[in-house]
Structure 1
Amino acid sequence: MSTEWARRVLVVEDQSALRVLLCDLLQRHGFETVSAADAATATQLFTEFDPDALLTDIDLGSRPSGAELAAMLAELAPHLAIVFLSSYPRAAAGATAMGIPRALFVPKQTLDSPRTLIDALEQALSTQPVPDAGSVLSREGLGALTRHQLDVLAMIARGWSNDRIATETGSTVRAVERSISRIFDRLGVTGDPTVNPRVAAAATYLAAFGPSR
């Protein structure tokens, strides 16, 4: 049985009205969102929310800028899809958007056509690198997991507790719990009271990759 899951977008925009509009637009297209007005707040939300994508303005009215925020989060989470939404001229973003590989740039002037933004997010999400594990990723839903989620699943397969995973990844226990819940949903191991989802998820990983070191 397939499990529906919503991709998560961290929206960073200093104009409150536009921030609300963007979140509403994304939610109507099936995304789950959380928003921030500045990079400092976005960084705090990042760990708890575990987003699949970052949608950010470049000029946030304060430092760090949206470009600096994106560069920092891309280092922390290489799986993160990044879309810049800005009133800057497109050429100002450079050949690669603000120097970040695979990031995309959408001018704010095109927001009169919401499809432009949704298409950009879909494109960014579809071009993120996936772990090179051969055909095993197509089995048992593993292909739906991000690199970060596969790393967490490997720790589960080692028998690590949520506390230890949090320490190892530099996250909070709550963030780890949210990440694990999403992993279970994507693997389709929830909903059956006779199945322990942690054991089932670990077994799925071990069947595909063997014992985790």
Structure 2
Amino acid sequence: MSDAKVLLLVEDEPLILWTLQEMLEFCGYVVIAATCGLDAVTILDSRHPEIAGVVTDVRLGVGPNGWEVSWRARELQPDIPVVYVSGDSAAEWPLYGVPKSTMVPKPYGTPQMLTAISSVLIGAPIRPL
């Protein structure tokens, strides 16, 4: 049995989803990918016990947005770590983001994303990057 952490990755832009998924898997995470908020909520409802963290874009097109995905995740697992990613919603994070989460503004580098994910997963102090 593997000790790899399972992350739910929610991103509606295929190239960004693929790139981030590849990076996370290369770093040893198991990634469950969703391309929209509705798929993410469905995955959370059925697989939340195995999911160690959520990485979600905020703007996901039609259906639930990233804020709503994280709210559902926290209903199911009150302490689940959340990393938000956005090109235009960073200023909304204090208003809509769940407690003990972090925001990574786009564009971001690999070190930024990995630092954000590891920080929320291990419970280190969180600050916007």
Instruction: Provide TM-score, normalisation by structure 2.
Output: 0.86
Displacement of 1:4: 4.6
- The equivalent of 1:126 in structure 2 is 122
CA distance in 2, matches of 1:57, 1:92: 13
More helix by share: 1
Computing the radius of gyration from Cα coordinates, the structure with the larger value is: 1
More strand by share: 2
CA distance in 2, matches of 1:41, 1:124: 23
- CA offsets per residue over residues 146-185 of structure 1, 9 Å max, x none? xxxxxxxxxxxxxxxxxxxxxxxxxxxxxxxxxxxxxxxx
Amino acid of the structure 1 residue aligned with 2:30: E
1:117 matched to 2:116 = no
Q: Cα 1:48–1:75, aligned 2, differ >3 Å: closer, same or farther?
A: closer
CA distance in 1, matches of 2:19, 2:43: 19
Amino acid of the structure 1 residue aligned with 2:29: F
Q: Which has the higher contact order (CA 8 A, sep 6+)?
A: 2
CA distance in 2, matches of 1:104, 1:119: 10
* Structure 1 gap ranges (5+): 129-213
Q: Give 3-state SS (helix, strand or coil) of 1:91's partner.
A: helix
- The equivalent of 1:68 in structure 2 is 68
Aligned residues: 122
- The equivalent of 1:78 in structure 2 is 78
* Structure 2 gap ranges (5+): 125-129
Pairs within 5 Å for 1:125-144: 125-127=121-123
- The equivalent of 2:47 in structure 1 is 48
- CA offsets per residue over residues 73-102 of structure 1, 9 Å max, x none? 1111113110001102532322x7x23100
CA distance in 2, matches of 1:104, 1:79: 13
CA RMSD of superposed structures (Å): 1.8
CA distance in 1, matches of 2:42, 2:68: 15
Q: Cα 1:99–1:45, aligned 2, differ >3 Å: closer, same or farther?
A: closer
Q: Cα 1:70–1:59, aligned 2, differ >3 Å: closer, same or farther?
A: same
- The equivalent of 1:99 in structure 2 is 97
8 Å Cα contact 2:58-2:89 kept in structure 1: no
